[in-house]
Structure 1
Amino acid sequence: MLDRDLAQACKIMMKQGSSSFYHAFKYLPRQEREAVYVIYSFCRLIDDAVDEPEASPYSLQELEQHFSHLKQAKGHFIWPSLRWVMETYNLNKAPYYLQMSGQRLDYAQQKYATVAQLEDYCYRVAGSVGEMIVPILHPAPGQSVVESGIALGKAMQIVNIIRDIGADQKLGRRYIPLEIMQLYGYTEHDWENQIINDPFCRVIQHLINQADKWFEIGLAFISSYPTKSALTLRLAATYYREIIEVVKENKFQVFERRAIVTNQRKNKLLLQLTKF
């Protein structure tokens, strides 16, 4: 098992960073749960290095350098924690580098033109997380299982993009492809002025439909997982998908209001998933 203090540090980081993930993954057996905490914490550091560099202990370049020389890395609880998880599960480093390459895109590209660009971004920053976690949760994941994990990550990233439209706009970012906006007659002028009209709702629904396709693929092999791992993935997907329902209840006001799934609502979803 991971050292108690290291495990606690990673647990706190996950609990503070993502209520949905924390509530979903806490039902795993201890070793798997701690491994997920470690992976989440490293991804959080990568994300913070880009979005909140003034508060981050490392730059993205420093994180990559330390990860490349993981055996020698020190100075933060994440390095011994990562050594433990990589060695315990004999993990491939490739998805972690992919994650960093996706976050690096935020330096170079603030607005997206095509659906293909958006899908590539979603794969890098979130599909990669699916690749990281599947070997923790599944005893013998084949390529189809790995691809379903990637799809689940991409679905969740679409939800993130919808939920965070207002916050991202303040940072000068627009992840919604111009290609989709033009399809429904929603202009860049409308976007800059935070217009919520029928074309905007159609744009968001288009993204929701894509996310739902990826959610379906993401859960296609759920029956092949151990029971607790399967419950965890279903919970994570359900909690995230519920954010969309809150967006709809808020009448698609995503510029000024962040959709939040309350703990009470999560508990109801948990009961629905486990009542049988």
Structure 2
Amino acid sequence: MDKRIMQQCEELMKKGSSSFHRAFDGLPSPRREAVHVIYAFCRMIDDSVDEPDNSLYTIYELRDSFRNLGQAEGHFIWPALRWLFDTFPQLEREPFLLQMEGQTRDLTFTHYETMEQLETYCYLVAGTVGEMLLPVLRDDHNEEAQAAGISLGIGMQLVNIIRDVGEDLRRGRRYVPLDIMRRNGYREQELERGEVNEPFVAVVHELRREALAWFEKGLANVDTYPPESGLAVELAAAFYAAILDDVEAADYDVFRRRAYVSDEAKLQMFRRTAARYADKGRAAAY
């Protein structure tokens, strides 16, 4: 393992998501480094579509290099990924390819009609991350845990969609499904104008319920993970769920303000969750 390469992956994770970095920072090696590599590559995939002018690769170049990983050169991510698959041979490549397939949808499919369409997209771009992480976070192959990891990823992506409504509109995208808007009496013209009213709050509440239902499924078997991995998964879920609370605290204005969770709030969540895991450890010792 090249420490310099691993540090570059970690820096990309820190820059992209301080929440994820903090949640998974307590993992033992090599699990921790593996999460850094996975996140770094997913960040590059996302940036290749969302910020193409600042990306070294197009999404198609990333996909081609990944498919020919043994020969890929020119960036630290390629030797990092080779290390990842060598270190965790149970890790499959299909979720990475599906992740890229999902991101390419953003280039052509930008307005969603139904919740079913949105959930398919959420699986491709985020549920797959759960599939990537599972062989890194635990040593066994557990189908229930795999389903839970996918569910947690879908829930997190729904939180992203709530948080980024305004930002996505500026990119010409509407992930909020039209059927949910119609059901709650919120018009597309109101969305385009960034109107926060009772129907819009109802839309956010419905999406929030959907997200939290996926979170519940995602955490159903977290106690079967190794303790450090379980703690990391719970922290990531808690940090993301707290974004929804900040949306509510800001009166649902996701058009002009990006919701966030303060470092102090994250620290409090960490202390509460870590204390509970410490209590579990003491109970197991008796």
**For the superposition of Structure 1 and Structure 2, which TM-score range results when normalised by the shorter chain?**
over 0.9
Q: Equivalent residue for 1:59?
A: 58
Letter in 2 for 1:5: R
Aligned structure 1 segments of 4 or more residues deviating by more than 2 angstroms:
none
**What is the alpha-carbon distance in structure 2 between the residues aligned to residue 166 and residue 234 of structure 1?**
28
Q: Equivalent residue for 1:267?
A: 267
- CA offsets per residue over residues 91-138 of structure 1, 9 Å max, x none? 211000000000000011111001111000000000000000011001
- The CA deviation at 1:271 is 1.3
Q: Equivalent residue for 2:283?
A: none
Q: Equivalent residue for 2:13?
A: 14
Instruction: Give the aligned CA root-mean-square deviation in angstroms.
Output: 0.7
- The CA deviation at 1:141 is 2.8
Q: Equivalent residue for 2:206?
A: 206
- The CA deviation at 1:189 is 1.1
- CA offsets per residue over residues 62-111 of structure 1, 9 Å max, x none? 00000000000010000000001011111211000000000000011111
- The CA deviation at 1:275 is 2.5
Unaligned runs of 5+ in 1: none
Which residues of 2 match residues 230-245 of structure 1 at below 5 A? 230-245=230-245
- CA offsets per residue over residues 233-274 of structure 1, 9 Å max, x none? 000000000000000000101000000101111001111212
Which residues of 2 match residues 31-50 of structure 1 at below 5 A? 31-50=30-49
**What is the alpha-carbon distance in structure 1 between the residues aligned to residue 178 and residue 131 of structure 2?**
29
Letter in 1 for 2:112: Y
Which residues of 2 match residues 95-106 of structure 1 at below 5 A? 95-106=95-106
- CA offsets per residue over residues 129-158 of structure 1, 9 Å max, x none? 000001100111311110100000000000
1:130 partner SS? helix
Q: Equivalent residue for 1:154?
A: 154
TM-score (norm. length: structure 2): 0.95
Q: Equivalent residue for 1:138?
A: 138
**What is the alpha-carbon distance in structure 2 between the residues aligned to residue 133 and residue 9 of structure 1?**
19
Percent identity between the aligned chains?
47
Which residues of 2 match residues 118-197 of structure 1 at below 5 A? 118-197=118-197
Unaligned runs of 5+ in 2: 277-286
Q: How many residues align?
A: 275
Letter in 2 for 1:88: T
- CA offsets per residue over residues 16-72 of structure 1, 9 Å max, x none? 000110110101002100000000000000000000111101001100000000000
**What is the alpha-carbon distance in structure 2 between the residues aligned to residue 272 and residue 29 of structure 1?**
20
Letter in 2 for 1:256: R
**What is the alpha-carbon distance in structure 1 between the residues aligned to residue 250 and residue 275 of structure 2?**
29
2:69 partner SS? coil
1:78 aligns with 2:77: yes
TM-score (norm. length: structure 1): 0.98
